[in-house]
Amino acid sequence: MSGSEAHGRSFLPLAVAVLLALAGCATTYAPQRLETPDELRNVQSKTVGEVAVSVSILTDEQARRHFGVDLGAHGLQALWLSVRNASDRQLWFIRNLLDADFYSPEEAALVLRSSVPRDQRGAFAQALRDDEMRALLRPQHVTEGFVYLPRREGGRYVDVRLQGDAYLEVANAGGAARATMRGLRFDFALPLPDGDNDYERQDAASTYGGRALPELTADELRSELEKLPCCVANDAGDAAGDPLNVVLIGESSEVLNSLSRSGWSFTHRIDLRTIRREIGAALSGAPYLVAPVSSLYLFGRKQDVALQRARASIAQRNHMRLWMAPFRFEGRPVWVGQVSRDIGIKLTPKSSTLTTHVIDPAVDATREYLLHSLLSEGFIDRYGFVRGSAAASPAEPRFNLTGDPYFSDGMRLVVILPPDPIPIENLRSLAWEQSAAPIAEGQSAAARRNVRPIGPSAGADPRR
């Protein structure tokens, strides 16, 4: 062994010890418990019978104050949950149905341990245990606590399931007794208040200066929707872009809740920070699940809110812009929108980010994607189609503002949202127009070979 080797090895344990000691020293550890729910923002509540549930997600700053550590920096979030069980039954909170990837208090303590002084880690872990939401919800009690979750941006759909104990139920006189378990479900679309989301500045009540908007009959609604422009426009209003192909009717909270539950998430606003992040994701191909969308215009303003269903890469997503219309139907706002599917990214001087997404030309297929995502979760009361969008064929497509071609049957999907999910058998049609089959729109005559009749004509020429 050389002298230098001996010297280096003699100091190695000391260096390691110093690094470990520094890692265990957090001078900023100073928890200040929040007096929930008074200090929480955006608390949402729902009541079913004698049970009320309230939820809120702590901001990163609130989490730092309450827990004394930066949960967000370690990829965690704290969901505050309160259950007022005024019934005479005990209930059980089914945590893994809210998020199967939740963190146990011990796991969260281990993830966060580097931010807690060594001599306080035991107390910190105990505090996380004490703050955790209990599984058993006693009758005639209010139970509150936190669920520790993986951090998400933009918004989170929260599905709170409460299950009752099994009890004997007799079907009818003389019938056999059977064990029955009844559950309750409370769902929420929770915006995550990190300051970057476009919906955080959207105020539906002041969109039209607080004036009362006209209430339309069904016939008047159809007429007004058909008279709208075919497409979104640029900020100058002198060039048409993507087709206006969707209409949603419901309160803003109902729109966000139904879309969030159906897999759609919120988007970030365009600013210097999000532009840098989007460019970086575009260059690397990394995901950016709440990436901003560019501003397009209707009613003389950019979109009121944008949502998306992100995929593995920033280049691939379904996205939608919505504008509140200057009229109402059945006492609720009417949201006119544009939905399309992004399949790639290209450079363009027409965007503030110097990049833009390339859309799938079969825009009607994305319109159907929205319909099916709402349908699968029971968030359609009535739906139908009206004319007025941009009709074009694959042979003679139209082009959006950045030169991407698209084709469509020119119909607008109209969906009246229910306040809560309804069974699919209760779905009703507006019986206005019939849309074309979106998959067939882009197919050539050669695709007819894939559709064959049954019976005596089975051998007929498929090209006919």
Kindly list the domain boundaries of the chain, sorted by start residue.
Answer: 33-191, 214-448
Task: Determine if the pTM surpasses 0.95.
Answer: no
**Partners of 160 in the beta sheet?**
186
* Residue 177, pLDDT above cutoff 80: no
| pLDDT tens profile 110-119 | 999 999 999 9
* Residue 314, pLDDT above cutoff 60: no
| Calpha distance 58→190 (Å, rounded) | 11
| pLDDT tens profile 329-356 | 999 999 999 998 877 766 666 655 555 6
DSSP state of 177: E
| Calpha distance 66→83 (Å, rounded) | 20
CB atoms within 10 A of CB 205: 8
Q: How far apart are the first and last CA of the chain?
A: 88
In contact, 159 and 185? CB cutoff 8 Å: yes
Say what the pLDDT of residue 18 is: 41
DSSP string, 180-249: E--EEEEEEEEE--SS-BGGGG--GGGTTTTPPPPEE-HHHHHHHHHHS-SEEE-TTS-SEEEE--EEEE
290 contacts: CB under 8 Å, gap ≥ 6? 153, 154, 155, 196, 197, 265, 266, 267, 268, 308, 310
Residue with tokens 């379904």: 318
**Partners of 412 in the beta sheet?**
386
| Calpha distance 331→327 (Å, rounded) | 10
| pLDDT tens profile 391-446 | 999 999 999 988 899 999 999 999 999 988 888 889 899 989 988 877 777 778 88
Cα torsion angle, 131, 133, 139, 141, sign: positive
Closest to 78 in 3D by CA, of 125, 28, 133, 24? 133
62 contacts: CB under 8 Å, gap ≥ 6? 34, 39, 40, 41
Planar angle of CA 370, 373, 378, nearest 5 degrees? 120
DSSP state of 459: G
Q: Is the peptide bond before 37 cis (omega within 30 degrees of 0)?
A: yes
